[in-house]
Amino acid sequence: MRVLITGAGSGIGRALAIQADRQGHGVILVGRREGPLEQTAAGLRDALVVPADVTTPDGRASIAQAVAMTGLDILINNAGTVPSGAADTADDAQIAATLALNLAAPMALTRDLLGALTASRGQVVNVGSVFGDIGFPYFALYSASKFALRGWSDALRRELAPRGIAVTYLAPRATRTDAAQGFDALIGPMAMTLDSPDAVAAHAWRAIAARRREQMPASRERLFVALQRLRPGLIDRALMRLARDPAVIAAATLPK
């Protein structure tokens, strides 16, 4: 099978590509910078590097041209950004950039590649977050983008089912990637536990291979998501206490 992964130059994207290679799949590696993509490709048996910005029409056109040559079975929308900080510190540019990469790009790229996915009766995989179920203080913008991605995934799954296309929504918890450096100050005060990209990718591929509708982390966060859906008031109280913690407030308001 041919698997396309956005954000494949590092972190979860690179780990997903390595797992795909181990399962015998050919991969199309997409990212803004060619150097990191080449580093990912160096250890793979069948990899095509496509430097492209998924937030632009020209970038998506380059990706579509590559897919036209190779075909496509699985599209993994992984590229994303993790903004953090107080809600009143996000300027217009940050809001627009976050929504462009975390939400608009997966929607537009999936649209552009639906012909190939229909031909293969393939699969769309959207990499979301536990924060797409649990709105976390000081991650309001990020949570909003992942809530939207989860809702779009549900609607898309139902729409594409008649074409034989599966849609899988992955919701890992915080992961040790370059993006995590942006909220490093919050990890301690918020008592976050971070998974390795390799662990996240190995867990994710079990859901991808089974064409499951969604996958939660194999950790206590699975319980928190269930409580959020069934007893949101409990999660409200816990996170409001966290938001009032002076150490959390201080970490969230550090200059970046």
pLDDT score for 204: 96
pLDDT score for 256: 61
Number of domains in the chain: 1
**Active-site residue numbers?**
142
Q: Sign of the CA dihedral 215, 221, 226, 230?
A: negative
pLDDT score for 228: 84
Supply the CATH number for residue 174's domain. Answer: 3.40.50.720
How many helices (DSSP H) and strands (DSSP E) are in the chain? 11, 7
Q: Please indicate, yes or no, whether the overall pTM of this predicted structure exceeds 0.85.
A: yes
User: What is the rounded distance in angstroms from the CA atom of residue 204 to the CA atom of residue 219?
Assistant: 14
pLDDT score for 121: 98
pLDDT score for 195: 86
Q: How many CB atoms neighbour CB 130 within 10 A?
A: 21
Cα→Cα distances 30→76, 91, 110, 204, Å: 10, 28, 14, 19
pLDDT score for 219: 73
Question: What is the extent of the structural domain holding 67?
Answer: 2-252
Question: Which residues partner with 166 through β-bridges?
Answer: 123
How would you write the pLDDT of the chain (256 residues) with one tens digit per residue? 999 999 999 999 999 999 999 999 999 999 999 999 999 999 899 999 999 999 999 999 999 999 999 999 999 999 999 999 999 999 999 999 999 999 999 999 999 999 999 999 999 999 999 999 999 999 999 999 999 999 999 999 999 999 999 999 999 988 888 777 788 888 888 888 888 999 999 999 999 999 999 998 877 787 888 888 888 898 899 999 989 999 999 988 877 6
pLDDT score for 254: 75
